[in-house]
Amino acid sequence: MCGIIGICSLNGLGEPLGRALKRSLTKLEYRGYDSVGVAVIGKGELIVRKGKGKIGEVDARVKFSEIDGLIGIGHTRWATHGKPSDDNAHPHIDCGGRVAVVHNGIISNYRELRAMLEGRGHVFRSETDTEVIAHLIEEHLKEGANAFDAFRKTISELKGAYALVAVVRDEPDKMFFVRNISPLVIGIGSGTNFIASDIPAFLEYTNTVVVLNDGEYGYVSPSSIYIERNGKPVNVEERIRHVTWSPEMASKEGYSHFMLKEIHEQPMALRNTLAGIERDEVTKIGAELADARHIFITASGTSLHAGLIGDYLLTTVAGADVHTFTSSEYRKYMKTAGEGDVAIVVSQSGETIDALLALRALKSAGVKVIAISNVMDSAIPRESHLAIYTRTGPEIGVAATKTFTAQLMVLTILAMSAAAARGYVNDDEAAYFMNEMEQVPDVVQATLANNEAKIKRVAASISRASSMYYLGRGLGLPISMEGALKMKEVAYIHAEAYPAGESKHGPIALVEKSFPVLFTIFNDEYGEAMEGNIMEMKARDAYAIGVIPKSLEERLDKVLDIAIPIGVEEPAIATIAYSVPMQLLAYYTAVARGLDPDKPRNLAKTVTVE
């Protein structure tokens, strides 16, 4: 996730355009902060200034806030392709310095496009996927196309999830744009128009907006807006809206808290993660896992629960010998780990100190290390032999939500790749699995739409509880563990997760009238046993909540107080969608208790001390 801003003005804003771009970028810095840059057209010249670092640091070095002109674009980056560096910072330009582009998202076919362009003599300056866009526009301009036609031809060649804005020196009054999944919104002023990833970027100038839909493209000039979809013009007047948010509300896009915003961002975060996974990379890692003597998975907190899902799938589907442990306990395995073993280290930030220490110890023992992280070129991926990234953008809420489901997606795909390498999954089964995985973002979207109001009511009813249980079997246990952790983190309810079969070996002693128990039930071999566990708790007057497959709704609705049906049946894939109701329940319970879920007491987003 990156931040984009574009400004075009007839007579200026009463200050250097670079200064206005800087102020707008500051309001987008939560979307990315490893590098920043601007491109301004002034006096017939395209000027680009950019660099690695936060906005203030880069401006102090390159003075981009002092550039003036009547049209400019800016970008604050969250690295996805290429480490944070001056060269990889946006905007990116073509060979001739005529075109500048800023981009949020992923161009999944950039390797093929880059090879084609290099074959035609184009020289690339960065490692990014974005730079191919500038060179493609240049290529079409050389063919005689005008700027907008060159832009249209370019976007027709792109695959992936992205939003981008481009300027062309030859047409200095237009900003060309396209939205494909990643967000983009136009701000309409008086003699000045804007385009940005988020409304906060331009809210101090105007509250009149047009929110772009997927598949729309066009251009913005100081006095006009043109939008097309599938070659047909869109009626802009019908789309104009007036925003009543405060600037703080706008930074959360109208959501009350960042946690809720990030829960709702999961469909896009999952699409971006899937688009960013390279098949060759997955095949290579799958082969490494298939050949391993032992596989160790280590992580902390929420990432550990994702690791436990990976453990279960690697064990049951790929037949691997897997050992998963919390990173702070790595010393237990130092006499068994060695040459021929592979470790997966999972860390949202890539800087978690316990995970980093475990990585170093395993690596020194001769173990090959694979990192899964959300932060490009952070310590853990940097020190690992191989790294694979989630593509969720920065996560501001302390309680992990979208990074967790993206980790599940990556680990599930890696487990299936290992199973294929071992011959447990054939080509048809692998193709079916990937097709099902591609539907997951839509399933998550439907889960949010269909269940949020119900979950909010459930949260109000359990908000007075002091304790509750989360019970599951098989894949349901790690998801239950994550649900319980979320409830502890943000609602301060003593929530404990247990294997459902163990509940009668002690925990059931605490169950009394209205004691909340949440059951995680998949469409698997544990269904009948889980139904028996529900009956045990109901016999003691527990308040039984079930996250269940839609196929079992009619049957289980009779024994549960509340059923939350999920529209995906394959358990290995369903774990992602099942996580969402757990997150919503914790969030709304915290709000019902008058708490701020964005700022849970005693917790930090990244733990960097032992």
Question: What tens digit of pLDDT does each residue of 118-129 get?
Answer: 999 999 999 999
The Cα 472–Cα 175 span in angstroms is 53
Query: Does any domain span residue 606?
Result: no
N-to-C CA span, the chain: 30
| pLDDT exceeds 80 at position 345 | yes
Query: Does any domain span residue 609?
Result: no
Are 227 and 259 in a shared domain? no
Are 335 and 262 in a shared domain? yes
The Cα 334–Cα 549 span in angstroms is 41
Question: What tens digit of pLDDT does each residue of 14-39 get?
Answer: 899 999 999 999 988 877 778 999 99
Per-residue pLDDT at 175? 98
Give the chain's mean pLDDT. 93
Number of independent structural domains in the chain:
3
Closest residue by Cα to residue 561 from 465, 452, 458, 447:
458
Are 152 and 168 in a shared domain? yes
Angle at 314 between CA 311 and CA 317, to 5 degrees: 130
Are 234 and 260 in a shared domain? no
The Cα 6–Cα 189 span in angstroms is 13
Question: What tens digit of pLDDT does each residue of 568-588 get?
Answer: 999 999 999 999 999 999 999
Domain stop point among 365, 392, 425: 425
What CATH number should be reported for the domain holding residue 581?
Answer: 3.40.50.10490
Are 314 and 368 in a shared domain? yes
Per-residue pLDDT at 605? 57
Are 59 and 198 in a shared domain? yes
Query: Does any domain span residue 41?
Result: yes
Are 285 and 396 in a shared domain? yes
| pLDDT exceeds 50 at position 47 | yes
Question: What tens digit of pLDDT does each residue of 456-512 get?
Answer: 999 999 999 999 999 999 999 999 999 999 999 999 999 999 999 988 888 888 889
Per-residue pLDDT at 503? 85
DSSP 240: -
| pLDDT exceeds 70 at position 387 | yes
Beta bridge partners of 498: 471
Tell me if 315 sits within 8 A of 443, measured CB to CB: no
Active site residues: 2, 605
The number of beta carbons lying within 10 Å of the beta carbon of residue 282 is 19
Are 462 and 573 in a shared domain? yes
Please, is 535 exposed, middle or buried when counting C-beta atoms within 10 Å of its C-beta (0-12, 13-18, 19+)? exposed
Alpha carbon of 530 to those of 556, 558, 559: distances in Å? 10, 14, 11
What is the token pair recorded at 435? 């097709």
Per-residue pLDDT at 245? 67
Per-residue pLDDT at 109? 94
Task: Give the H or E element holding residue 241.
Answer: strand 241-242
Per-residue pLDDT at 227? 97
Tell me if 197 sits within 8 A of 28, measured CB to CB: yes
Are 61 and 105 in a shared domain? yes
Kindly indicate the confidence band of residue 608, based on its pLDDT and cuts at 50, 70 and 90: very low
Closest residue by Cα to residue 19 from 58, 65, 55, 68:
65
What CATH number should be reported for the domain holding residue 132?
Answer: 3.60.20.10
Question: What tens digit of pLDDT does each residue of 418-444 get?
Answer: 999 999 999 899 999 999 999 999 999
Per-residue pLDDT at 609? 42
Please, is 507 exposed, middle or buried when counting C-beta atoms within 10 Å of its C-beta (0-12, 13-18, 19+)? middle
DSSP strands (E only) in 284-412:
295-299, 322-326, 342-347, 368-373, 386-389
Tell me if 293 sits within 8 A of 321, measured CB to CB: yes
Q: Residue 132: what are its φ and ψ, rounded to 5°?
A: -60, -30
Per-residue pLDDT at 604? 58
DSSP 333: G
Domain stop point among 366, 390, 425: 425
Query: Does any domain span residue 302?
Result: yes
Name the strands in the sheet holding 171-180, side by side, starting at the edge strand that comes first in the sequence: 92-93, 99-107, 160-168, 171-180, 216-220, 225-229, 232-233
| pLDDT exceeds 80 at position 248 | no
Are 241 and 268 in a shared domain? no
Alpha carbon of 461 to those of 532, 544, 562: distances in Å? 24, 12, 11
Name the strands in the sheet holding 71-77, side by side, starting at the edge strand that comes first in the sequence: 45-52, 35-42, 71-77, 3-9, 192-196, 185-188, 208-211, 241-242
Domain interval for residue 388: 255-425
Per-residue pLDDT at 117? 97
Domain stop point among 399, 425, 451: 425
Question: What tens digit of pLDDT does each residue of 75-92 get?
Answer: 998 887 888 899 999 999
What is the token pair recorded at 289? 């896992």
Query: Does any domain span residue 171?
Result: yes
Question: What tens digit of pLDDT does each residue of 232-241 get?
Answer: 999 999 999 8
